[in-house]
Amino acid sequence: MYNNSYENAKVIMDIARGSKDPKAMLRNIAQTNPRVREVMDIVDRTGDPKSAFYKMASAKGVDPEAILSMIRK
């Protein structure tokens, strides 16, 4: 499961990097994916994707820096 989730996150990040409007792309995905919708809701509340990521990772008991280092590979 971990590997699949990691690969899914990596694919989404790669697509977002290549998108002209990453936020709009994520909003489209959020319409059908409840996990992405949850993230976008937090982004809307915090106003900042970075803050939303750190807040969500911390709430799940995950080190946000560890996640970022894996995605950057």
pLDDT at 6: 63
pLDDT band at 63 (very low <50, low <70, confident <90, very high): very high
pLDDT at 1: 43
HSE on the CB side for 16, CA within 13 Å?
A: 16
Q: Is the pLDDT of residue 2 over 60?
A: no
Kindly state the tokens that stand for 70.
Answer: 């894996």
State the average pLDDT for the chain.
79
> For residue 56, which amino acid is it?
M
- In 10 A of CB 1, how many CB atoms? 5
Question: Mean pLDDT, to the nearest integer, of 5-34?
Answer: 76
Distance CA 13, CA 24 (A): 13
DSSP helix/strand/coil, 26: helix
State how far Cα 37 lies from the chain centre: 10
